[in-house]
Each structure stands twice: as C-alpha cells, then as structure tokens.
Structure 1
Amino acid sequence: MKPVLEVEDLSQNFGGLRALNDLSLHVDTSEIVALIGPNGAGKTTFFNCVTGIYTPTEGRVYLYDANGERQLLNGRKPHAITALGMARTFQNIRLFNQMTVLENVMVGRHCRTRAGILGALGRGPRTRREEQESIDLSYALLESVNLQDLWNETAHNLAYGAQRRLEIARALATEPRMLLLDEPAAGMNPQETRELETLVRGIRASREISILLIEHDMSMVMSLSDRIYVMEYGSCIAQGTPEEVRGDPRVIKAYLGESDA
C-alpha cells in the first residue's frame, strides 16, 4: 500500500521536558490507525507537531499530496498543511458556537475556494457560483453525518454527540486525504460511540480517506483499527494489529502497571 503520512524520528522538547522521543510511524492509503497510550503519553503533542501547531525539535513529517509527491511539513503553517490535504478535530470541541451548523461546515471550505476580498465585495457570477457550490457541498456533508435537519441551528445548541459529528463534517469540508481525530468518542455514551464507529468506517469506505485517531475507548480502537501504535512517556513502545497489541506485555504494563511482588 502507498503511504499517505510518514513520520520519522520525531522529537519535541519543551525546555527541559522531552514530550516526544524519536517517534516514527506511517499511515497508508485508506488505512485506519490508532495512537493510544495513558494520559500524558504525548499523543496530542504528536498531533500538534504533525499539523503545524508545534514545530518539532527533531525529526521529519511528510504528507503525500494528491499527485503522490512527498511534501515535508516541518515549518509549514497549519493552514498550509490543511491545503495540502490534512485535517483534524480536537480533543476539546472547537466550533464557531454563534454560527449555524451549515456555516461551520462552510468555514472548512475556505482553503478550497478562490474568491478574494474583491470577489466578495463585487459578488460577480463566479463568486456567486462558488458560494452556491460551497453551500451544496457543505449540506451534503451534513447529510453524511446525519445533521441535515439541523443545518440552520446555532452550533452551541447542538447536543454533545452532534457537535462531535459537526466538527468531523467541518474537517471533511477541507477535502483531506489524511484525517486526524483526537479522542472523537470522549464524553459519548455507548450508543453515540457505536454511531461514531459506523460513521468513521463510512468515511473511510466512501471517501478513501486515511484516518489516524487518538482514542481511550479500547473497544472502539480494537474493532475499528487496522493497526495500532502504543505510546508511553513520549516514545512508541509497541505497534501492530489489534491482536498483536492486545497481548503485548509492554502494553499491559503501561495500562495496568506491574506488581512489585
């Protein structure tokens, strides 16, 4: 399989703290990969390095673009990385709470539209056509996450699970090849988690998107993932299929501890 994301020997220091230590991983085309580990293992720091929020201290991050060319992400701004084909959601939901559900998704279209300030002011045929296309695409994305009936609702009025789905729809609006989900099931009840799992599978199947997720719900991770990387104290301690990782003594020790007896 062809890779979409490659990370080589990634390290991140914050003063005297080494939050990531020589971490390497890859995600292939249409693959669902999970990144797991105890709280404080460095998972979200890893996402922040990959998406341009942090500049890694060491190592390299590559994203393969739509033409199959390997693009170095180090030093690029988050919006430039998004334009190359990577999108993410956040552990703490970050919606535009006073905007409508449809408007939130349309914001994600910004990196794929061409109308500038003059076009917006002049409202010529090209600008109007592009705006209508953005509306149509955004509404279709709401249909894909079952939020179409709430298109004109203010985002902060949505139930928690619906807000999670809206954030995913907004990320999909950027037309990513690589989607990063940071604890998408956090705070969800079992029914919402099952629906989310079905949604993620559907996204992969219908859009051929590669997905890397951080998640603490081990039942979801084991049933959804093709491969799993396990982190502890900023380093990768295990990797493999769900079956391989489930029985790895290092993983059991990281999650359950080890008796002194």
Structure 2
Amino acid sequence: MSATTANAAAAVLDVRSISMNFGGLRALNEVDLQVRQGEIVALIGPNGAGKTTFFNCITGIYVPTEGTVHVTPRDGRTVTVNGLKASQVTALGMSRTFQNIRLFPTMSVLENVMIGRHCRTRAGILGALLRDPKTRAEEQRIVEESYALLKSVNLHQHYKDEARNLPYGAQRRLEIARALATEPFLLCLDEPAAGMNPQETHELKELVIEIRERHELSVLLIEHDMSMVMSLSDRIYVMEYGSKIAEGTPEEVSKNPRVIKAYLGEESHA
C-alpha cells in the first residue's frame, strides 16, 4: 500500500491514550495507535516495552486502566472495545495469534481451523443435537472452508495429522489459518516469525502480503525481526518502557535518533 493510499484509508483500529496499571506498575502509558484499512502496521520495541500488553488490551484479554479502543468492522459501525470479552472482540472481526503457540495439540490440523469458525456458525444447540439438514450443510461448508484455508497456508496435505506433530514453523502457519477462519477485518500477529529460520521467515512475509490481498484485511504485528518489519510494513510504531517513542514509515523510523538509542544504546565516547 502506498503512503498516499494509506493516509486516505479509514481507520479500522483507533487506540487513544490507553494506559494499563498492574498495581503500582504502569505497563502502558497513554499509547496512541491507528491501523487503516488495508495497512500492514508493525509494533516494535525492546523486550518488556509493553507490546504484548498492548495486544491484550485491544483484544479483550485486559481492560485498559485508561483510554479508549475503537474498531470499525466491515459493516461500517464504530464499536468501543473497552470492557468486551475476548470472544466478543473476535466476533467483531479482530483476531490474533499468540507469542506462545496456542493450538489444540491432540486435535487434527483441520479441526483446529474448524474451531476458529465457531463464532461464525448459525446452528443453535437444538440444530446441533438433531443434526437437521441445515446443520449438516453448515458443517460440510465449515469443513470445506477450513480445508481451503489450510491450502492457502500450504498445510492441506497435513489436514488429518495431530497439530502437535507439525514442525514449529508449520504450527505458526496453522495458528494464522485458525485466526483467518474467524473472518477478521484486522489480524493481529504476536511475533509470528519467532523461532523461524531465514527461509521460513521469508515465506511468512510473502504469506502475510498474500493474506492482506486475498482476505482484504489489515494486519498489526509485533515482531523482532527488523529485516522482516522494514520490508513488510507500511508504518511502524515503536515502544519503550510502556510508552510510544516514535511512529512513521520504515525509512522514517530507521533514522529516528530515539529509536536508534532504544535499540543500540547511547553512543560511547572515548
């Protein structure tokens, strides 16, 4: 996405001055962040900067101590996320992966993706018990759609395998497929390249670009691989000690003195 297009697009996520306190610890301090329609936005910073806490605040795991989180789903209405449960946020169309992989290890690869479709099913409890024709048709549709998602992340050949038997990089892709099963307008990826080798990281970058185009969604990602961040992102936000210290294009951020200091430390003088 070009800078001009990004600036003209509407915000699908609008975070205003959120703070998060844990007792006497201020983990987030008045952080602002916007993601526009169709953008890939990165959130970076040293370990302990508050990035995952920020993700937890915008996805309903934590309730921010202060500030507001607004989202604009595909139906065009603006919704305040503050106070909603994680399942409600997912149902709105904001889905995420986790820093530590959270799959159902003994379930099949296909079943893991099918679980992601739960928030989009229409069959009630009675229909599920009676297995009426409408329910059976919906179940078949979920199987077909889930298999198609596996194919899009090149895991369809493993659809019968238990999730725990997949290689690490494949488990990461499975988590992304499950997140896509919820039909998100915004996909939040928490360190998706963690533990991957350079080839897997390159393939992941290409996959994220393809997902953005195919599913017409926006992406917000936390990532420590700076090569991937700089080549993938439309815009970057930088955090340190719970506060936002910079934002801009990859070129702008890479030249920002505060960012250089946060990552490299003070320049030493003999």
Whether TM exceeds 0.5 here: the answer is yes
Match of 1:37 in 2: 45
For residue 99 of structure 1, what is the aligned residue in structure 2?
Answer: 107
Which of the numbers 148, 160, 181 marks the counterpart of 1:140? 148
Give the corresponding residue for 1:55: 63
Classify the secondary structure of the residue corresponding to 1:146.
coil
Of 230, 236, 241, 1:233 maps to: 241
Q: Which residue of 2 aligns with 1:193?
A: 201
Aligned to 2:254: 246
Q: Deviations over 1:105-143 (max 9, x none)?
A: 000000000212221110000100110010010000000
The 2-side partners of 1:126 and 1:247 are apart by: 58
Please point out which of 161, 173, 198 is paired with 1:153: 161
Amino acid at match of 1:118: L
Secondary structure in 1 matching 2:188: strand
Q: CA RMSD in A?
A: 0.7
Partner of 1:173: 181
**Equivalence for 2:91:** 83
Matched, 1:9 2:21: no
Deviation at 1:206, TM superposition (A): 1.1
Q: AA paired with 2:130?
A: G
Whole-angstrom distance in 1 between the partners of 2:99 and 2:197: 16
The AA in structure 2 aligned to 1:202 is: E
* 1:211 and 2:219 are equivalent in the alignment: yes
Q: Displacement, 1:260?
A: 5.5
Find the aligned partners of 1:180 and 1:259 in 2 and give their Cα distance. 34
CA distance in 1, matches of 2:75, 2:114: 25
Deviation at 1:67, TM superposition (A): 1.7
CA distance in structure 2 between the partners assigned to 1:66 and 1:143 by the alignment: 25
3-state secondary structure, aligned to 2:117: helix
User: 4+ residue runs of structure 1 moved beyond 2 angstroms?
Assistant: none
- TM-score (ref. length: structure 1): 0.99
Gaps of 5+ in 2: 1-8
Distance across 2 between alignment mates of 1:67 and 1:131: 25
Which of 11, 18, 26 is residue 18 of structure 1 equivalent to? Answer: 26
How far the C-alpha of 1:259 sits from its partner, in A, is: 3.6
Identity score, percent: 70
State the alpha-carbon separation in 2 of the partners of residues 27 and 115 from structure 1: 33
Match of 1:116 in 2: 124
Deviation track 1:204-242 (CA, whole Å, cap 9, x = no partner) reads 111111000000000000000000000000000000000
Further displaced range: 209-218 or 109-118: 109-118
The number of equivalent residue pairs is: 261
Q: Distance in 1 between matches of 2:135 and 2:199?
A: 42
- For 1:69, give the aligned amino acid: R
Give the TM-score normalised by structure 2: 0.96
Amino acid at match of 1:239: E
